[in-house]
Structures are given as structure tokens and as C-alpha cells.
Structure 1
Amino acid sequence: MKRYNFDNTNLPKVNPNEDLETISNNFFRPLFAIEKFEIRSETARDKGIDFHIELKKEQPDGAAVYTNFRFAVQLKATESIEANTNGSFSIQIYSSNINYLLNNGMPAFYVFYHAPTKSFYYENVNSFFAELQKKDVEWNKQEKHSLRFSKLLDAAAIAAIYNETFDNGILLRQLNQFLKFPVAEDKADGVIIDSNNEVYSVAENIAYIDQFGPDLINGHHFNFIIEIEQRSHPRAEVPPRFNLICGIAYFQRGNLYKAMELLKLAQQKLESFEPEIQAMLNYTLLNAKFLLGIINKQDFDDEISRINENQNSGSFFAIERAYKDLSSNRVKPEIGIKNFYKAIRSIVKKDGQNAHMRITAYAKILDAEVPLLFHDLELNFTYIIRYTKQPQESKAYREFLDIEKAYLKRMDLLTDFALKNKYFLGVSNLASAKIEWNYKKIFHKHLLSHWNDRSFDLSTPLYKEDLDSLTEGCEKLDKILYTYEMLEHHENMVSCLNTKYEIQHFIGKNDEAILVRNKIANIIESNDFVGLKTRQNELINGRTAHERFIEAYTLKINEIQDLIAKIGIEVPKDIPDDIYEREERNPDWTITTFFEFNFPDYSLINSKT
């Protein structure tokens, strides 16, 4: 039989991209169980949606029904794109495609297939849109945007997509009954949906925030405020307090760009607010600009100083004004701290029914006392550090321990008062401050006990009880960090992690410290906290609290020793070991009497912010 000669010179060529598309489609479909999903390919004049996937719902009798609740999928596939350094994959998405999917009226997802690993990744289009909007409200003017895929499309993700789509379908069904065709005399009015899927008018919602917004802020109901604001569209001009309240809520939740947008609108009607509210508005807006890196630290401080100069700016700024006066070093520390006590006492007396203000004022006192007390400890040790063999038995250190006992007792009383008033942010701040105090006490004690001629002996290991105490402190900081995360106070999260990093660096847990450093960087990056990068860079470049102490104290002591040698004073070498313990001068302390905290019956106090 004559063999047929196959002629392949005039046949359609195989397109590798089409093969990859087929392969990705074939692998994609089995991810969705047929009992719960009906996959329908979009084949006719596809403009950016590859699949509409309908949900099926099992009934009590075991039979399944079609729901007509659907979500859309745009599937991307590649064999050549390499992973980013963090393991994600970047794909360019057209703005027109983003808009097309947003107009779909149902949940929509981008799905990415990585052929070499046969892995699927996904991203919610609404989440992608929110990130774009956060970075640039005019994102639509740009042709393309980079979308980073990092979330695996696994069973848990598919279950979450099912639940989201089902809830969205139920919501739309309930919403439909409120939609009506407008008539000539109707005025267009939006609708709003709360967490229970109840529907309200935009006008009612704006009035609600305008009236009850301060109470919601005081109660830290930031998510509730944001939820209402996001569903209050379309809207025309609104009362300036609505923009102020919503701006503060967005700021507290770390959405700084949206916060700035609303706060600027409120600032246009600045004169409509009381002086104290004006100061709070300007302060929050400045803080957002600083965190975003729009203004530097010096400009921020200068602007805050101008706000503080206004005597009518309220109790919070009065506290800051008094603290700045203390920090200015215009008078001796012992006089400055007494003036500070006097200013705080006057503020608390004037605004005595504000529990949160009282807590803030007393916490500021504790904060102000820390550098003074440790500076005194360092100064008192300069008289004995070259000679004493038992520095922890010295009069200076024994008195410091008594001072510490009184200091921490006041801190515990204030923490208890904050807890009774349900001021959980204040409780977390005080708990973090207590751990930071312990870290500073231990590194001062350890280093000052191991001075060797002209430097600290950094090779000496910590006492086990001190190491255990600092390790326990790191564990407590993790719990505090969780509280900050629940409260969505991202700035406080960074501060908390800074303390943890310093402790781990001091006790030599370098691997753990690197993990904490990376976590700090991620929070700063994800929240665009450009203004906090300076402090992070300081920490990783030799500017932790213990490193700064080692540098400054070593320089100070050696300057003293050099001066003694220069003027020809000789210190005998045969002095008995205990002579300085027996003849030690009385230590000097800047604070001889602590400010006494006064706590009225917390049940009689109305807590305000």
C-alpha cells in the first residue's frame, strides 16, 4: 500500500498562548465542586470576563437549587513571569478592564495561573480598586496598573468566595424592594445598608453621624462610622462635622489618604468649629501628612508648636504644651518637673469629669519622669563606677529601687483606673510603657555593674532572672500588639514592636530581632507610614536605647577620666574595696516627691475624648 504523504505546509499554526489558555481553563474548572458551582464560560464577544460562576444551594431535603447569585472571573495565565522577592507575581491590568468588572454589579475576581507550579492565585477586584483609590484618586487616568497576586486559590479561599457571593446576593435581593422609578417631584436620595442589611436614606445617615458622631468616636466605633460613610453615596454638600468625624475614623483605621480627603473638606469650614475641635482637626491632618511623608519631622513639630500656642486649643494640647515646656530645658530639671506637675494639676482640675483626659495627663507625667529618673541614676553612678566592686549594693542603686517601687505603684493604679473606665487603648499603652521601663532598668543595672576601666564589658552575660524577665516582657508585648491590632491602632503597633526589637537586640536574640524588624517594615509599608521610617532606620543602625546609653555614657566617663589625668590628680590604687560603699555620698534625685494621682469614683465620671 502506498504511504500517504502528510502535507503540513498550509494548515493553521498552533498558538502556544491558546494552548496555555486551554490548559489553565481545564485545571481551573475542577477547583469548583459541581455540587455548589455552575461554571459558565463567557465566549461571545468576551470583553474582560472569562467565566460567570453561579452558586447552587443545598435544601433541607438534600436537593440543590440554582440561586442566580453569581460572581465573575477574569483568568490570566503565564509560563514566563518570575516571582517577586516576596513570592508574589505581578500582572499589568488595564484600567478599562477594572472598570468593566466593577460595573458587573456582582463580586468579581482576577485569577492568575502559574503554569510552572500549576498554582492558582486570586484577588478581589473591589480590594484591588480600593488600593488604587487609596494611592491615587485619579488612578483611572492611568492606562495600566500592576496587580500583585499572593493569595492562593485553595479550598478555604473558594469557600470564602462562595459565602461572599451568597451574602451579596441576599443583600441585593433585599435592596431591590427599595428601588423605585423617580417621578418629577421626587428628589434623588441614596440608600445605606448597615451590618444587619437594613436600608436607610443617605440623608438620615448624614444626620445620624452629624448628631452622634462624637459619641461614636469616643466609643472607638471607627469601623461603624466608615461603613456608614462608604454607603452614603451619592451625596451633595454635607455638614463639616460629618467630614470631620469620618476623617478621624479613617485616620484611626490607617486609611490616611481617605482621612486627608475628608479632613481637608472639614477644614474648609474650620471657623464653624469650636477652638478645641479646630485644634484636633488640624492636629490629625498634620499627623496624617507626617506619617505619609508629605511633611518632615521638623515641619510637623513647627506646626504642632503653633497649635499648642493657642490657649483655647483644649486640654490635650495644654498637656502637650506643658510637656514641651519641660523638655525645652529652659529651667533646671527639678524646677521644670515641679512646673509640669503644677500645669497638669490645673488641667485636671479644670476638666475633672473627663476620665480619658485624666488618664492621658497622668500617663504623660509618668512618661516625663522616666528620662529624669534614669539620668539621675547614671549621674549618681559616675561618682562610684570606677571604684565600686558591688554597684548593685550601692546607696544610689538601693534608693533607685525604692523610687522604682513608688513609680510602678502609681502606674499600676493608673492602669486599674483606665481599665475601670474601659479605656483599653490607655491600658495597652501603660502595659507597654511598664515593659519598656523594665528593659531600661535592666540594661542600666547590667551595664553600670560591668564597667571595665574605659568601657563596658559587653561580653558579660545577663543574670538569668533578668533574661527571663525580658523574655517574658516580649511575650507580653505580643499580647499588647494583638490588642493594638484589634483596635487597629497601627502607629501603636509600630511603637510596641520597636520596644520588642530593642529588647531582643539587647539580649542577643538576633534572628528574632530581624523578624520583628521586618514586621515593622511591613506595617510601615502597608500603611504608607513614611514618617516612621526614620525611627526604624535609627533602630537598625545602632540607635537602640541601650546602644545610645553605651555610647553617651562611655564618652562622658572617659572625658572625666581624661580631665582628672590632665590636671594631675592621682587616685591611689590601694584603696579598700568597700571604701566607696561605706563613704558614698548621698545620691541626688531630681524628683524628691512624686505627683500624687487622684482618682475620683470612676462610676461618676463621663468619659470623653
Structure 2
Amino acid sequence: MKQYDFDDVNLPKVNPNEDLETISNNYFRPLFTVDKFEIRSETARDKGIDFHIELKKEQSSGDSVYTNFRFAVQLKATETVQANTDGSFSIQIYSSNINYLLNNGMPAFYVFYHQPTLSFYYENVNSFVAELQKKDGEWNKQEKHSLRFSKLLDATVIADIYKETFDNGILLRQLNQFLKFPVAKDNVGGVIIDANNEVYSVAENIAYIDQFGPDLVNGHQFNFIIEIEQRSHPRAEVPPRFNLICGIAYFQRGNMYKAMELLKLAQQKLQSFEPEVQAMLTYTLLNTKFLLGIMSKQDFDKEMLKITDTKNSGSFFAIEKAYNELSSHKVKPSIGIKKFYKTIRDIIKKDQRNAHMRITAYAKILDAEAILLFHDLEINFTYIIRYTKKPLESKVYLEFLKLGKAYLQRMDLLTDFALKNGYFLGVSNLASSKIEWNYKKIFHKHLLSHWNNRSFDLNAPLNQNDIASLVEGCEKLDKIAGSYEMLEHRENMVSCLNTKYEILHFLGNIEEAKLTKERIVNIIEANDFVGLKARHEDMINGRTAHERFIKDYTLRLNGIQDLIDKIGIEIPDDLSEDIYERNEKEPEWTVSDFFEFKFPYQPES
């Protein structure tokens, strides 16, 4: 029987590139164990994603469930690319593909398969974009970019990707649950804007913003406001409320110059607004000028005092005024804090159903109490620190721990209330404050237990549990910074990253602190936050919280010792170890009976 010869048969040709794609896919899939991952190939008209990989999670019952938490993978394969001198491999990536992956809304990775060595390399898309941004802020205008693959994709990396994707999923779940845009039922519900946000006329747009702008601002719909403003040209004179609403929207989205332009136009008709709106307009314009470096911090504070002193300026400014009075040191702290408590009670009583205002007021109380508690800890320690052998077993420290526990319990209650009311910005602020409290508690504990004659022993090793706690705090701050970025509250983002820098500096993690510092500078420069630059430079030049404490407390203690020496009081060197513990002066605390947080109102389910 004659053997069938395929040489003369017209059949589809084998494409070597397709063979390599099949080989890379076949090797890629086994890297992800079926107990934790479900790999789904993208085959229908995909424009840049090869796989969506979903996480599986084992429950306490032993059953595994699908989470719908996913990450995206774009797989590149080649057998011809030569290694660079450092052993990495370079592949050209189109800007359109980078943007496509960024728009995916979930963690995304480029994976490179090198056929000759049967090796997989990877790069996080966000990390790649961060590097591009450092080199050129307008990278998006280039057609393509060189991506150097140098990191091997192994089991450890895959475990890290699982954790990152899971954490990202939890964050997005919280955002989806609590970041809902409230709309005034009696107002906006009757207005029809088509699905594509098409504009019918400039006049209609202006009238829409003038009438329903406050509801849109309350609903954080700043992008929508900006879209309408940009389509409302040409226009003659507009109602001052239109300029105010649009100015606030641009401010919230970081376009400070455009915000200032519109807010100045609104300010020309300042008297047309009710007192609370006047205060809000003036404050936003002042903040814009400060962030742009047009106004100094001293001048900003001076103008803020004028706003808070104005009658009927609103609850927010009444809270700020009460806090400023407490911080002015014009009265004894024990008297000032009681007055502050009373003022907050009166403010809340006037508007008991305003949950966001209640959260803001209670958070301000926590800020004030934290300052007083740490100040009292330092003062109380001045009586024992030069003599005690067991500082962490002293009455002072043990009572501080007890007060701190009660303080944090109230912070957790307030955080829970903020979550239930969908106030995610408040949740982020409180989470950041809790990590800052922990950082200050740890450096006080460490330093106060290592005083040596006339200085702190800065070489004493940190407690390992404290190190782990601070490192975990830094990881949480990264997630909080991410939520601020999603909310586009970049001022808060800078503050959050400042705390991370301070913690890293205290831990002696200089390299990571440097990266955090660069990240802060990039945000400041990208948003023209000139006013924040001085504050940042002050911090990185020896003014972190722990550095200020070391300097100020050393001066205070040595000043006391010098005075004792000058007046001739002698302290024997052979005192028994427990004499000061047994006869320790009763500690004094400005705050011992905390303000009771009440949460009478819960939103309808």
C-alpha cells in the first residue's frame, strides 16, 4: 500500500510562534496549584490579557470556596531574545497594553517565558508603571517601552501574589460596600441625564450644577461635576454656586490652579452664600493657596482663626475652634479638656443625626487625648527615670497601659460606627491614627526604658515583637495610602506615608525609608503641593516624632539634673533597687475619665 505523502497536500502551516505559545501555556499552568487557584484563559477577542486567575480560599470547615478575587496575567514567550549583561531579558511593551492592564482594576502581571532555560520571569504592572513615571511623567505619549525581566516566578513569589490579590480583594469589597454615593431623593431623583452623560446645552448644565451641585459634592461625584464643567463652554457670567461647586470638585481631584480660579470667582459673590457655605468656600480657597505655596502655614493658621471665630460657620469649624483653644495652652490642660468635652457635646446635641459630624468630633477628641496621654507619660517619668531599675514595671507605665487599652477600645468603637455609616474616609483616618499611636507607644516604651545617666541608649536593640508590630503597621499604611489614592484625598495620603517614613526611620530601615521619602516627594510634586514640602523637609531633617522626643526630653532631664546639682542635692549611689518602685509618686493624668462615645443613630439597612 502506497504511503500517503503530505508534501503535495494543501494544509494549514504550523506557526512556530503558536507552538511556543502552547508550550509556554502548558508549562505556566502547573505553577499554580489547583487548591488555591482557578486559571481562566481569555480567548474571546482579548486585547492584552491571557489569563484571569481567581483565588480559592479554604474555610474553617475544610471546604474551599471561590472568592472572585482575581489577578490578570499577560504571558510573553520567546526563544530568541538574548540575555542582557546583568542576566535580565528585555521585551518591548506597548503603552496601550500597559493602560489596558491598569484599567483592569485588579493586580496585573507580565510573565515572560524563556524557552531555552525553561524559566518564567515576572513583573508587577504597577511597579513597571512606577519606574516609567520616575523616568518620564509623560511616558503614556510614547508608543512602547522596554521592560526588563529579572525576577524569577517561583513558589514564594506566587504565595506573595496570592496575598497581594487577596488583600486587594478585601479592600475593594470594603470600598464597594461602604463607598456609596448618597443622592437626595427629593432632588436629584427627578433629573434625567442620559447614559452617556451627553450635554443638552450650556445653560442646562449650569442650571443643573447650580441646583443639584451640593448633592453631587456630598456624593463625592467630583469627576461627574468636572465633566459637566468642561462641556459648559463658552459661558458668560454664571451663578456663584456653579463656580463654588466646580472649584471644590477640581480641588478634590488635585487640580489646584483650576480650583483656585473658580473659587476666586465664587468668592467675588461671597455674601450671596449662607454663613456655613461662606466658611467652606473661604477654607477651601485658603487650603488651595497653602498647598500651592502661595500662603505660608503661619498665615494659613491666622486666617483659619478668623473663620473659626465667625458665628454660624458650621459644626466643622466649631470643632476646630474648640480644638485650637485646647491646644493654645491658655488654660490648664485638665480644665481645657473638660471644656473641650462640653463643647463637643453641645455641637453634637444640635445635630444628633449627623453621623459624619459625630465621627469627626469624636476623632478630634481622640487626637487631643493622645497628645495629653503621651505628654503625661513623659512628665510622670521625669520623677523616676533617673533612678528606677524597672521602668516598665512602674506605676506610671502600668497605668499608661491601662489608659491606652481603654483609649483604643473607644477608637475601635468609632471605627466600627464609621464603617456602618459608609464613611470610608473616616475609617482610613482612624486606621492611620491607630498605627501612629502604636508607633509612639513603642518608641516611648523603648526609649524610656533605656535612659543611661544623661542620654538615651540609642544602640539598645528593639523588642522583636515591637519590630514585628511596626513592620505590620507599615504594610497596613500602604493599604491605607492606596485607599486615600482611590478616594483621591492625596493630602491624607501624604500624611499617611509620613507616618510610614517615621516608623521606618525609627526601625533603622534606611533603604525603605528612602523609597517612601521619594514616593512622598513624587506625590507632592505631581500635585504641586508646595505647602506640604516644607513640612516634609522638616520631618526628614531630624524632626520625626521620635527624634523630637529624644532631643526635647534629653534637654528637659538634663536641665533638671543640672538644677539639682546646682542647689547641692545629693542622691546616694547605693540605693536599693526597689526603693523608688515602693515609694513611687502617684502618677497624675490629665485624662482619667474618658469622654463617653455614644452612637444613638444607625442608618437604615
TM-score of the superposition, structure 2-length normalised? 0.69
Separation in 2, partners of 1:200, 1:452: 75
Moved over 3 A (4+): 117-123, 147-157, 192-195
Q: Deviations over 1:310-365 (max 9, x none)?
A: 02111111111111110111110000101111111111111222111111111111
Separation in 2, partners of 1:402, 1:564: 32
Q: Secondary structure at the match of 1:385?
A: coil
Q: Secondary structure at the match of 1:200?
A: coil
Q: Secondary structure at the match of 2:200?
A: strand
2:501·2:517 contact (CA, 8 Å) conserved in 1? yes
**Equivalences for 1:11-90 in 2 at 5 Å?**
none
Q: Deviations over 1:258-280 (max 9, x none)?
A: 10111111111111110010000
Supply the AA of the counterpart residue of 2:549: F
Cα offset for 1:540? 1.2
**Equivalences for 1:489-508 in 2 at 5 Å?**
489-508=489-508
Which residue of structure 2 aligns with residue 260 of structure 1? 260
Cα offset for 1:234? 2.0
CA separation of 1:586 and 1:258: change in aligned 2, threshold 3 A = same
Which residue of structure 2 aligns with residue 342 of structure 1? 342
Separation in 1, partners of 2:287, 2:141: 36
Which residue of structure 2 aligns with residue 244 of structure 1? 244
| Alignment pair present for 1:456 and 2:456 | yes
Unaligned segments of structure 2, at least 5 residues: 1-43, 46-89, 97-135, 147-191
2:292·2:530 contact (CA, 8 Å) conserved in 1? yes
Separation in 2, partners of 1:254, 1:563: 53
Supply the AA of the counterpart residue of 2:201: S
Cα offset for 1:242? 1.1
| Alignment pair present for 1:575 and 2:575 | yes
Separation in 2, partners of 1:443, 1:549: 9
Cα offset for 1:155? 5.7
Q: CA RMSD in A?
A: 2.4
CA separation of 1:195 and 1:236: change in aligned 2, threshold 3 A = farther
Separation in 1, partners of 2:198, 2:223: 17
Separation in 2, partners of 1:483, 1:223: 17
TM-score of the superposition, structure 1-length normalised? 0.68
CA separation of 1:417 and 1:461: change in aligned 2, threshold 3 A = same
Separation in 2, partners of 1:343, 1:420: 25
Which residue of structure 2 aligns with residue 410 of structure 1? 410
1:193·1:200 contact (CA, 8 Å) conserved in 2? no
Choose 258-267 or 463-472, whichever is displaced more: 258-267
Cα offset for 1:213? 1.2
Length, aligned pairs only: 434
CA separation of 1:148 and 1:375: change in aligned 2, threshold 3 A = closer
Which residue of structure 2 aligns with residue 321 of structure 1? 321
Cα offset for 1:196? 2.5
Choose 192-201 or 552-561, whichever is displaced more: 192-201
* Identity %, equivalent residues: 73
CA separation of 1:120 and 1:425: change in aligned 2, threshold 3 A = closer
Supply the AA of the counterpart residue of 2:429: N
Cα offset for 1:236? 2.1
Which residue of structure 1 aligns with residue 210 of structure 2? 210
CA separation of 1:194 and 1:524: change in aligned 2, threshold 3 A = farther
Which residue of structure 1 aligns with residue 305 of structure 2? 305
Separation in 2, partners of 1:156, 1:418: 44
Cα offset for 1:153? 3.6
Supply the AA of the counterpart residue of 1:348: I
Which residue of structure 2 aligns with residue 527 of structure 1? 527
CA separation of 1:563 and 1:425: change in aligned 2, threshold 3 A = same
**Equivalences for 1:394-409 in 2 at 5 Å?**
394-409=394-409
Cα offset for 1:200? 2.7
Which residue of structure 2 aligns with residue 390 of structure 1? 390
Cα offset for 1:217? 1.0
Cα offset for 1:387? 1.3
Separation in 2, partners of 1:464, 1:232: 60
CA separation of 1:361 and 1:210: change in aligned 2, threshold 3 A = same
Cα offset for 1:151? 4.2
CA separation of 1:563 and 1:602: change in aligned 2, threshold 3 A = same
Separation in 2, partners of 1:193, 1:216: 13
2:92·2:145 contact (CA, 8 Å) conserved in 1? no
Unaligned segments of structure 1, at least 5 residues: 1-58, 61-116, 124-146, 158-191
Larger radius of gyration: 1
Cα offset for 1:230? 1.2
1:247·1:259 contact (CA, 8 Å) conserved in 2? yes
Separation in 2, partners of 1:218, 1:430: 20
